[in-house]
Structure 1
Amino acid sequence: MNINEKYDLIVVGSGAAGIISAIVAARNNKRVLLLEKLSQIASKLKATGGGRCNLTNTLSNEDFMAKFGRDGRFMQDALKDFDHKALITFFDAIGVDTHAPDGFRVFPTSHSSVTIIKALHDEMMRLNIDILCNQKVQELLYENSQVIGLKTNTDTFTSPHIILATGGLGYPVLGAEGDGFSIASQLGHKVTELYPAMMPLKTKETWVTHCRADTIAKVELKVDLKKHKKLRAKGDLIFTKTGIRGPVVLDFAREVTPLLSKYGEVPLLLNLTKGMNEEEIREYLKDEFLKKPQESILTILKTLLPEALSIELCKLANINQESKNKELEGKNKADLIQLLAWTPLTITGHDGFRMAMITRGGINLKEINPKTMQSKIMNGLYFCGEIMNLDGPCGGYNLQWSFASGNLAGKLLE
């Protein structure tokens, strides 16, 4: 390969967004160079979904966008052009069978990200896309607000079109350093404050360490701060040695980490009883004790919750777990019912970007044309994927967005 060759497009970053943008451009007869700073492509994609690669989900575009909050409408053009059905068709065409075993999340039938990466790599080889690894971009070159190329740690490459698909700050061991943010900033783009998201959270309360054996289904979380009471989520939760994790926590972390940065700690309330309120819990306990008058409160609670968690809630309510119904004092019983309806936990920290699957924040969306993914500041510069200020929950949302935005960027519409 002649490294001084002029390319129609240079893509920086070999994640889902970067690879598909390169493929789309090459299919339109563009000469494409893909640069990756690590020694191999798609390192983060390989780790996605624990290696199972949850590609997308079956939601309608409207419902899909709603999951991204108020900025979700930015995705409208990208999804219209490349929604989950188009993504499934794309992979089918390059030899990857997919399915949705739960009717919602879409996986390769192999349930292996290796299948996805191999198919994408083979397609890039078929299209004669040049791939260079161990290339760290140091500077974008431009004249009169038009990109003309870039410099890496080893070479200078020229092109009138450059796509930044460098991702966020999550999982630095897989190459995330935020270099795309610094490059965009040097060109005049604003980068919002960056927070780690989709990650476990640490709690002030230490009793959680005794409840690690079980997954609690259908837990509702809500922030117990006056200005943020509308923030809530539902899903499965797992207690850990130092706090909480599980699908609902991974999703809710994107709301909590900015508040943690602002307030230092974030009080939460957890409904651990599948949505039962205090009155419903009171009636439930009454009925269970009527049926089993000689049973202890712990035995009754175990019909609602795992034993370890039931024991800890008894301790929090100052109740002897072996107490019978008639032995329970009014205040302690009321405290227990209140705890069952809304258990307080205080979030005090997390492991930072080291354990964050995604980044909350990024390039300001107002500076990007949603119909093309092109910069409004620099002609020929495009963005796709996680580098932009748009992140969603777990369940195929962020990968679908990466593929859709990469597809649109790769069309190089002026």
Structure 2
Amino acid sequence: MKRWMNTRVSQPFDVVVIGGGAAGMLAAGTAAARGMQVCLVEKQARPGRKLMITGKGRCNLTNDCDVQEFIASVPSNGRFLFSAASAFPPRDVMAFFENQGLPLKVERGNRVFPTSDRAVDVVDTLVRYMKRGGVEMLIGQAAKLLLEQGHVQGIELQDGACVLARNVLIACGGASYPGTGSTGDGYVLARQAGHTVVPLRPSLVPLVAKGTDCSEMMGLSLKNTAIRVLDTQKKKEVYSDFGEMLFTHFGVSGPMILSASAHMRDMAPGRYRIVIDLKPALRPEQLDARLQRDFEMNKNRDFINALSALLPRKMIPVLVRRSGILPETKCNQITREQRRAFVTLLKAYPVEISGFRPIEEAIVTSGGVSVKEVNPKTMESKRIKGLYFAGEVLDVDAYTGGFNLQIAFCTGRLAANSMQ
């Protein structure tokens, strides 16, 4: 076993934490601060790899909201988190990091970031927290749990070495971004202990669109744009947002789209439609007046050549085709009905969604260890004494805005404070 720290391995430990992500590091440091002998096992050469890339490398580490708002932002089993979130709410998470010497700032949507805008500073803060408590950090991969008569006894690593402990925390993430170490190891261990794993699906993930329109606009980023997500099966709107999105070779991505994906439950081809308002600042009648002026100025030009002041270049051929107006139609020949139909298209440009991108591209894994088999007041397994779960390995996931890291921190904290 290799070590991050050149310290002596003393066994048995009070606690073994599997996974050096947000939940695992916070839990390891918390247990050590309680005076427990803690070993953190991480298979990557450096902990916090996924934390490094969150928030575009800035790390949106929580959301400055109250407990009820936090729970409302967790569509999968949010109520399960009530005890954890009440014991370590967002304001306490913020206070923790600031007390550890990391200044924070609050941005749009109550998103909390380090003032430095550097995710590495969040990781370094958690590593220092563990080191101060004397956490032993080992590079290795847990191969199986050591179980005896309904109690956990420790873990066995892939190299055959055993790390003994009376408490084991599984906090090794989900199955998204496998390059950071989240390769689903926790689910294998959970099943070994007799736990049910709810089928995995991607959340906060780009979306695949039907047809070729999006690929024709590949690379085009829209800012200050409004979207609505319609569930055509239930015939209702399930999400709306205002902000930034991106057209790609497969469909759509960007901050608004990732958030929207979390609201698309039971995905099926054709079930969901995204409706984009390309001109949200203009009411339909204002946009119609704008078009009339543009067409008057370009009355002898072809329709397709009269839209450069209104739309991005890559979008014009697609919108013209979708309008049904022939590209070579002179602007002074466009009828009022055609113009008004074009206004409707600009205010409600539809994108039919055929599915999610693969789970490997998702920011968060939805599904995981069934919360019905975990004590919400302690994060301890209801099946195996001394076995705990925290973070993304659980069947809880939230919208964007810092809520998923809040899940990691509060469940990790609760598990560590519940261990005997």
Q: Is the 8 A contact 1:295 1:324 kept in 2?
A: no
Aligned counterparts of 2:235 and 2:194: Cα–Cα separation in 1: 33
1:287 counterpart = 2:289: yes
> Which deviations, in whole Å up to 9, do the C-alpha atoms of 1:145-187 show, x marking residues without a partner?
1111111113111111111001000011111211111111121
Give the CA deviation at 1:358: 1.0
2:224 to 187, 198, 217: 217
1:249 to 247, 257, 263: 257
Residues 300 and 413 of structure 1, relative CA distance in 2, 3 Å threshold: farther
Aligned counterparts of 1:102 and 1:322: Cα–Cα separation in 2: 44
TM-score by length of 2: 0.88
1:176 to 176, 182, 187: 182
Aligned counterparts of 1:79 and 1:316: Cα–Cα separation in 2: 48
Residues 361 and 320 of structure 1, relative CA distance in 2, 3 Å threshold: same
Structure 1 portions without partners, runs of 5+: none
**Alignment match, 2:25:** 19
**Alignment match, 1:272:** 277
Give the CA deviation at 1:318: 1.6
Structure 2 portions without partners, runs of 5+: 1-6
TM-score by length of 1: 0.90
Residues 337 and 287 of structure 1, relative CA distance in 2, 3 Å threshold: closer
**Alignment match, 1:239:** 247
**Alignment match, 2:318:** 312
**Alignment match, 2:409:** 403
Counterpart AA for 2:209: T
**Alignment match, 1:146:** 151
Residues 285 and 54 of structure 1, relative CA distance in 2, 3 Å threshold: closer
Give the CA deviation at 1:69: 2.1
Give the CA deviation at 1:252: 2.0
Equivalences for residues 156-171 of structure 1 within 5 A: 156-171=162-177
Give the CA deviation at 1:337: 3.6
Counterpart AA for 1:25: A
What secondary structure does 1:395 align onto? coil
Give the CA deviation at 1:310: 4.5
Residues 326 and 286 of structure 1, relative CA distance in 2, 3 Å threshold: farther
**Alignment match, 2:53:** 47
Q: Is the 8 A contact 2:288 2:343 kept in 1?
A: no
* Comparing 297-306 and 83-92, the one that deviates more: 297-306
* Comparing 309-318 and 395-404, the one that deviates more: 309-318
1:199 counterpart = 2:175: no
Q: Is the 8 A contact 1:9 1:163 kept in 2?
A: yes
Residues 92 and 194 of structure 1, relative CA distance in 2, 3 Å threshold: same
1:74 counterpart = 2:74: no
What secondary structure does 2:275 align onto? strand
What secondary structure does 2:398 align onto? coil
**Alignment match, 2:141:** 136
**Alignment match, 2:236:** 229
Counterpart AA for 1:272: D
**Alignment match, 2:195:** 189
> Which deviations, in whole Å up to 9, do the C-alpha atoms of 1:106-130 show, x marking residues without a partner?
1111111111122221221121110
Residues 108 and 45 of structure 1, relative CA distance in 2, 3 Å threshold: same
Aligned counterparts of 1:228 and 1:74: Cα–Cα separation in 2: 29
2:95 to 86, 89, 94: 89
* Comparing 234-243 and 322-331, the one that deviates more: 322-331
Aligned counterparts of 2:109 and 2:269: Cα–Cα separation in 1: 40
Q: RMSD between aligned alpha carbons?
A: 2.6
Give the CA deviation at 1:413: 4.8
1:384 counterpart = 2:390: yes
